[in-house]
Amino acid sequence: MDKDINLTRYGLGRVIAVGWEQYRSHFRSILAIFLIVYIPINIGLSFVPTDYLIEQHGLRGLKIYMKIIQLTEFFIGVLATMSLAKLIEGSMLGQPITWQQSFRHALSRWGASVGTGLLAGLIILGMCLLLIVPGIIWGLYYSLFIYVVALRGLSGKQALDYSKAIVKGQWWRVFGYLLVINLLEAVAGVIVVALFWFTPDNKMLSIASDTLIDLISALFLTMTIVFFLNNDSMRISSELKKQISTEPPVLPPQG
């Protein structure tokens, strides 16, 4: 359990360090979750004729392939994200659970995550149709909604508003932290791809490399979860302090 999660707002270094410690401590559970979710995804993606799409359609073919990846992540990969969130929250609150329990919890929240994700996409699209900048702003406001759905029992507009409440007032800080974490993930992914660059063109190797990338991505996802948990705890603590400060004092009985 990280005792400071409810007391101190983590800096970027602290988020990375705690994320790494959580990832290292729960690697076996994370491995089980990600193998169950991503091996089927990567086997399915290995049958997508990527070379044909690019040769026939060029950049449009590549966009089609990327859309397929996004859809599999949206509908299936989200189970790994929510499982990991539940696992890490239990650990940081001193209430550890098994990976099986976290995965069952993710399954129970799957419908809520898909529905909320579709709603978020529609709102962000609407903002982008007005101007690009509002779309970017609202995209970041809603960037933490999946953890709200997984861990706070909310869905739909309530979950989106909850995510926005965490980001509001520290938009640039959230943007900077998530940007750095995503850049670190991208660098790690490039290194893994480079390691497999000169290997034979083989489906099994492709599935293995993609699954390895997913497992490494879990490290940076863990960091993001730690960031969410800390900021959510600080927001709740701040609201409780405001409530206490505005409550009228209790007067002693007269006479």
pLDDT tens, 169-198?
999 999 999 999 999 999 999 998 888 877
Domain extent at residue 77: 12-235
For residue 50, being part of any structural domain is answered with yes
pLDDT score of 218: 97
DSSP per-residue codes, the chain: --TTTTTSPPPHHHHHHHHHHHHHHTHHHHHHHHHHHHHHHHHHHHTS-HHHHHHHHTHHHHHHHHHHHHHHIIIIIHHHHHHHHHHHHHHHTT----HHHHHHHHHHTHHHHHHHHHHHHHHHHHHHHH-HHHHHHHHHHTTTHHHHHHHH---HHHHHHHHHHHHTT-HHHHHHHHHHHHHHHHHHHHHHHHHTTTS---HHHHHHHHHHHHHHHHHHHHHHHHHHHHHHHHHHHHHHHHHHHHSPPPPPPP-
When divided into structural domains, the chain yields a total of 1
Amino acid at 200: P
**Angle ∠(187,171,133) on CA atoms, nearest 5:** 85
pLDDT score of 70: 86
Distance, CA of 180 to chain centre: 14
Tens digits of per-residue pLDDT, 16-60?
Answer: 999 999 999 999 999 999 999 999 999 998 888 877 777 777 778
Tokens representing 41 are 């995804």
Q: Which residues of the chain have pLDDT under 50?
A: 255
Residues contacting residue 32 through CB under 8 Å, at least 6 positions apart: 99
Amino acid at 135: G
Residues contacting residue 212 through CB under 8 Å, at least 6 positions apart: 192
For residue 7, being part of any structural domain is answered with no
For residue 250, being part of any structural domain is answered with no
For residue 46, being part of any structural domain is answered with yes
For residue 243, being part of any structural domain is answered with no
pLDDT score of 145: 97
217, 17 contact by CB (below 8 A) = no
DSSP per-residue codes, 215-252: HHHHHHHHHHHHHHHHHHHHHHHHHHHHHHHHSPPPPP
pLDDT score of 152: 96
27, 234 contact by CB (below 8 A) = no
For residue 255, being part of any structural domain is answered with no
Q: Give whole-number Cα distances, 208 to 40, 72, 195, 219, 228, in Å.
A: 12, 17, 12, 17, 30
For residue 244, being part of any structural domain is answered with no
d(CA 95, CA 87): 9
d(CA 201, CA 62): 19
For residue 247, being part of any structural domain is answered with no
